[in-house]
Amino acid sequence: MPKKIKINTTVDQEMLRMLDEYSIRNQENRSTAVRQLLAFALKEKNKSKALQAYKEGRLTIRQCAELLRVDYYEMENHVDLACCRVAKIPLSGLRPRGLNL
């Protein structure tokens, strides 16, 4: 297990209230809740940057997958979902290629 290092931060009362609500809903203490949320936010931010680099042609799907430490097919799924959101295509409206229904 990696060594944990203590950090401190300052938040406003509203953010603290939201953090406490999250920790109660998830039956976690504040420290665990902060670690979970920080890990999630960093993962999402990195994914967003990788997807942007892919859209701009600076990275391939494989390179994005390596950066995010996911396999190629998971990254391909992220790309597919991001492209659908950008184009505002509802996922329910997608059909397999070559299928004329």
Calculate the average pLDDT of the chain: 85
- How much is the pTM? 0.70
Domain spans in the chain, listed from the N-terminal domain onward? 13-92
* Tens-place pLDDT, residues 59-81: 999 999 999 999 999 999 988 88
Lowest mean pLDDT: which of 37-46, 54-63, 86-95?
Answer: 86-95
**Mean pLDDT calculated for residue range 79-98:** 59
Burial 13-41 (b: 16+ CB within 10 A, else e): eeeeeeeeeebeeeeeeeeebbeeeeeee
